[in-house]
Amino acid sequence: MVCWRQCRGGLRCGRWRRGRLTCSDSEGYLLRIAASIAEGVAVNLNECLSTLDGDNIGLVVDAVLHANGRSVPGGWR
């Protein structure tokens, strides 16, 4: 279970970039996108998506499809 309230605070303050949340930049961006899907947290998609590699973009696409009730068995690829 993810406590989105705590994650939102850390992400809003940019703590993950200053080492207070132990995650890479890609993980931080994925966490922002997940928080946006789960709780409606505002996210700059241009900033987040432009830094992710193909595998992480695939995870985002799968999460969006799942949130919309359109999951693709085995992922989008």
Model's pTM, two decimal places?
Answer: 0.72
Question: For residue 51, what pLDDT band results from cuts at 50, 70 and 90?
Answer: confident
Backbone angles phi and psi of 33, in degrees to 5: -65, -40
Instruction: Give domain limits for the chain.
Output: 4-67
In this structure, what DSSP letter does residue 20 have?
Answer: S
The answer to whether residues 23 and 16 touch, using CB atoms and an 8 Å cutoff, is yes
Question: For residue 42, what pLDDT band results from cuts at 50, 70 and 90?
Answer: confident
